[in-house]
A and B are shown apart, each in its own frame.
Chain A
Amino acid sequence: MATVEERVKAVTAQVLKITPEQIKLEDSFTADLGAQSIQSVELVAMFEEEFGIEMEEDVALSVTSVGEAIKFITEVCKQQGVVIEE
């Protein structure tokens, strides 16, 4: 099973139409990777689908960087009993 980081980068690359190799943990989704408002929402939606979780909208949309997203998704998966590869 791929790690959370690999899966987050894969989803991000797909939504933002870039390659996973271009994505660094410290990258901001908007400032560095160029995510527009709708893409931020699409990222959250696709993370939910990828991991089979439900995220609280305002909290999820306040996550700014890739590294923070990995940490946040990991916590939500644990809270919701979803098995992941860290």
Chain B
Amino acid sequence: MDNARKKHPLVDTEKPNLLKDTFTYNLPPFIKFEGPVVENIGGKPVEFDFTAVKDRDIHITDTTFRDGQQARPPYTIDQMVHIYDLMSRLGGPNGVIRQTEFFLYTKNDRETLDRCRALGHKYPECTGWIRAIKGDFRLVKEAGLKETGMLTSCSDYHIFHKLKFRSRAECMDRYCEVVEAAFEAGVRPRCHLEDITRADLDGFVFPFVDRLMEMSSQVPPELSAKIRLCDTMGFGVSYPGVELPRSIPKLIYKLKYECGVPSDCLEWHGHNDFHKVHTNAGTAWLYGCDAVNTTLFGFGERTGNPPLESSIFEYIALKGDLCGIDTMVITELADYMRSIGIPIPDNYPFAGKCFNTTRAGIHADGLRRDTQIYNIFDTEKLLGRPPRIAITDKSGTDGVVHWVNDFFGLKGGDRVSKIKIHKLARWVIDQYEEHGRLTAISDQELEAKTKELLPEYWEEYKADQK
């Protein structure tokens, strides 16, 4: 490592450099790369070119109705059909949200699938999910699906302790029988390698995938087996230098180059047990999985899966373009989830009620001067959610005046000054200093007080709206 220090002379200017090439504000900030990334694999340096991601057909797949339902009471059929419809609008005509998968076991499962397909959307394509059991495959054939996921658990925890196989060979043969049945029926198998980040890769996973690739070479390309890398316990790690089986870069590299699985047949499915889920999914994209599997708002088994809406913004940041995505639907989906009793934490990125709400007066002052100072991107344009101020003891007059201007919808030179709202600001401060209040002040309370203390503005701006 070169320890030579470098002088950094001040570049003085009176014109701010807002780095607009990256932080355009009308889109989420772009993720740009410089030069290749090097990972040591098998003792040799291997270069990865992340800039290629702009031209690759990376996409999102969804498991809201499968893994996403394992963490909560089941959705009704109507709810699933509505969510599917919204998801299609969100992903847009280019199929950024390419597929979503359904259980096939109950009458309700099959009715849901039929009704979603009856909507006639090209994307997301409906696929199935079954256990790697021949008897389950009948369900896929009956549903007339082109592709199904099948659970091919691959760590010895599962092979021996859960599935009770006597040997790895017996397990592999059983899995391959079902894959063969899929090929014979003209259905594309997607093998879900459950617990891959805790598996004996050289002892089972790579030989199994080798065999899958060999079998796939005997069928038309559109039937080639897909490989879903299931980081079932969230053990996957994105950092360079991590050893297998936890290294996501090495895992993908070996499957791609040693086993010969093309990128369009590789999919990452993560879990959030170590708070790594979104970054791990993005890492999988960069190192060669074309698909990342997600759920809306991250709902999924235990700690959940990569949040679909976060992958949407990651996608835009990597591609530098909306690519047909309608981000406004994220807000619609969040509102819908709340309306059917599914809570989303207030501080949850992109969708929580307060994700772009500031409470500190000094931040409110920044927002008042330029919303870009404390807003991640144009959340009003992309999500229909302008930055907000929550009024507490920390808000100060800056927070209160920002709230008032937002409430009356005043912009630019029409915005009222702090001087004009001092009575309301005084009321807020007295709530805490004189009355010992400990909770935030609701919009409803502020609205009532605004009408009482700022009647001239109420008359001018609210009377017009009635």
Segment at the A interface, from B60-68, B187-195, B307-315, B419-427: B419-427
Find A57's partner among B361, B417, B425, B429 (CB 8 Å cutoff).
B417
- Of the four ranges (under 10, 10 to 19, 20 to 34, 35 or more), the interface on chain A belongs to 10 to 19
B396 adjacent to A60 (CB under 8 Å): no
Contacts of B319 in A (CB 8 A): none
Tell me whether B397 and A45 are in contact (CB under 8 A).
no
In contact, B422 and A42 (Cβ under 8 angstroms): yes
B interface vs A, CB < 8 Å?
361, 396-397, 417-420, 422, 425-426, 429
Contacts of A55 in B (CB 8 A): 419
A38 to B419, Cβ gap below 8 A?
A: no
A37 interfacial by beta-carbon distance below 8 Å? yes
Measured between beta carbons, the chain A residues less than 8 angstroms from B419 are 41, 44-45, 48, 55, 57, 60
Q: Could you tell me the distance in whole angstroms from the C-beta of A63 to the nearest C-beta in chain B?
A: 13
Q: Mark A55-73, 1 if CB is under 8 A from B, else 0.
A: 1010011000000000000
Most chain B Cβ neighbours within 10 Å, of A42, A60, A61:
A42
A36-58 to B contact mask, C-beta < 8 Å, 1/0: 01100110110010000001010
Interface residues of A (CB under 8 A from B): 37-38, 41-42, 44-45, 48, 55, 57, 60-61
Give 27 pairs: A residue, B residue, CB < 8 Å, sorted on A.
A37-B361, A37-B396, A37-B397, A38-B396, A38-B397, A38-B422, A38-B425, A38-B426, A38-B429, A41-B397, A41-B418, A41-B419, A41-B422, A41-B425, A42-B422, A42-B426, A44-B419, A45-B419, A45-B420, A45-B422, A48-B419, A55-B419, A57-B417, A57-B418, A57-B419, A60-B419, A61-B418
- Whole-angstrom CA separation of A42 from B417 in the bound complex: 12
**Cα distance A38–B425 in the bound complex, in angstroms:** 7
**A-B pairs with CB below 8 Å: how many?**
27
A53 to chain B, nearest CB (A): 11
When C-beta atoms are compared, the residue in chain B nearest to A61 turns out to be B418
Interface core residue of A38, A60, A61 (most chain B CB under 10 Å): A38
Residues of B within 8 A of A61 (CB): 418
Residue of B nearest to A42 (CB): B422
Across the interface, name the chain A residue whose C-beta is closest to B417: A57
Other than A37-B361, A42-B426, A48-B419, give 10 A-B pairs with Cβ distance below 8 A. A37-B397, A38-B396, A38-B397, A38-B422, A42-B422, A44-B419, A45-B422, A57-B418, A60-B419, A61-B418
Question: Which partner residue on chain B sits nearest A36 by CB separation?
Answer: B429
Residues of B within 8 A of A60 (CB): 419
Complex interface: chain B residues within 8 A of A45 (CB): 419-420, 422
Closest A-B pairs by Cβ, 10 of them? A57-B417, A45-B422, A41-B422, A45-B419, A41-B418, A41-B397, A44-B419, A42-B422, A38-B429, A38-B425
CB distance from B414 to the nearest CB of A (A): 14
Residues of chain A within 8 A (CB-CB) of B418 are 41, 57, 61
Residues of A within 8 A of B422 (CB): 38, 41-42, 45
